[in-house]
Amino acid sequence: MADPTLDIVAMGDAIVDVIANCDDDFIRRHGLPKGSMQLLTPSQADELYAAMGVAREMSGGSAANSMAGIAAMGRSSAFIGQVAEDQLGLIFEHDMHALGVRFDTPPLPMGNGSGPPTGRCLILVTPDGQRTMNTSPGASHELSSEALDRDLIASASILFLEGYLFGPEKPRAAMMEAIKIAHAANRKVAFTLSESVCIAGRKESFGQMIDSGGVDLLFCNQDEAFQLTGRTDLKNALTELSIKVPTLVVTKGAEGAIAIENGERISIPAAPVGEVVDTTGAGDLFAAGFLAARCKGASLERCLWTGAIAAAEVIQHYGARPIADLKELVKL
């Protein structure tokens, strides 16, 4: 088996974030569960967009944000995701390339106006810095197994999969295929959970996937650990999950993070932050930091700390991708 020539390849939503401020009342009036992510139909998205305030647009997507962080920390990365052949798709592609992230999934043609456009995530940021995400996935959920670059996947040390893509059937099948390719090449598979994996139906197929050894490293937050296991006690939830995956990493927001691996269990507090401006991307950058450190062979504790530092940077400004010199901040 050849040595890996790439640190990480990710599969995830290829979407552009549309970020606006709003007050808590706006969130309530529109019946949005604050702090969570909802999928919107195109017409729901148009309606919410019309109601929301002046926005700024920035490339987003959970795993894509992680790859932006990985690149900013000096590791080599690639991204697989589906955009359409439109202006937002060009913006997404440009930003990946500008970061040095390899991204060459062919865009979906828009002929006859029939194909879905590049996905958008309408992100509402309340004065407390919390983000409520409303995704119109568009082309992003059309990612199919045919779009996979098998050699690219086989060339990376780690295949990183985003839970948001586990919901819809087509990209889920593509992810299952990618896992096979990665494992056949003796690579590791990391998976970041999302609430959308934890709902009935998907929960079972995700359970089968981890039971069959599909996931070597699982990232989730506290809430997702509760939802996935159905438990209400963190210790029990973590014990249950840690039996199923070799490495488990659980983030707890302002309370820090925990990792469990080979019987070792390490907790760290959150990295210190000034003002929390926008929590969008916190989990994505945590995963980026952890994985970047892991690629350098760092200790489990060092991996956690690197994740915490990267997450702390991204919540102190608008947008889900790093602005400060992450390489300098994490000094890997």
Nearest Cα residue to 290 out of 250, 245, 320: 250
Based on CB atoms, which residue is closest to a copy of itself, 34 or 56? 56
Among 36, 49, 115, 176, binds a copy of itself (CB under 8 A): 49
Provide, rounded to whole angstroms, the least separation between the CB of residue 137 and a copy of itself: 15
Q: Residues with Cβ < 8 Å from 91, sequence gap 6 or more?
A: 16, 57, 59
Can you list the alpha helix ranges (DSSP code H) found in the chain?
A: 24-29, 42-51, 62-72, 87-98, 150-155, 169-184, 202-211, 222-229, 234-244, 282-295, 300-314, 326-330
Among 95, 162, 216, 224, binds a copy of itself (CB under 8 A): 95
Mark residues 2-41: x for contact with a copy of itself by CB under 8 A, - for none: ----------------x-x---------------------
Binding of residue 313 to a copy of itself (CB under 8 A): no
Provide, rounded to whole angstroms, the least separation between the CB of residue 81 and a copy of itself: 16
Burial class (CB in 10 A: 0-12, 13-18, 19+), 278: buried
Binding of residue 173 to a copy of itself (CB under 8 A): no
Q: Cβ distance 81 to 12 under 8 Å?
A: yes
Residue 109: how many other CB atoms lie within 10 Å = 10
Binding of residue 85 to a copy of itself (CB under 8 A): no
Q: Cβ distance 102 to 70 under 8 Å?
A: no
Based on CB atoms, which residue is closest to a copy of itself, 87 or 205? 87
Binding of residue 163 to a copy of itself (CB under 8 A): no
Binding of residue 57 to a copy of itself (CB under 8 A): yes
Binding of residue 94 to a copy of itself (CB under 8 A): yes
The H or E element containing residue 58 is strand 56-59
Among 87, 186, 205, 299, binds a copy of itself (CB under 8 A): 87
> Given the rule CB under 8 A, which residues bind a copy of itself?
18, 20, 49-50, 52-59, 68, 86-88, 91, 94-95, 97-99, 117-118, 319, 321
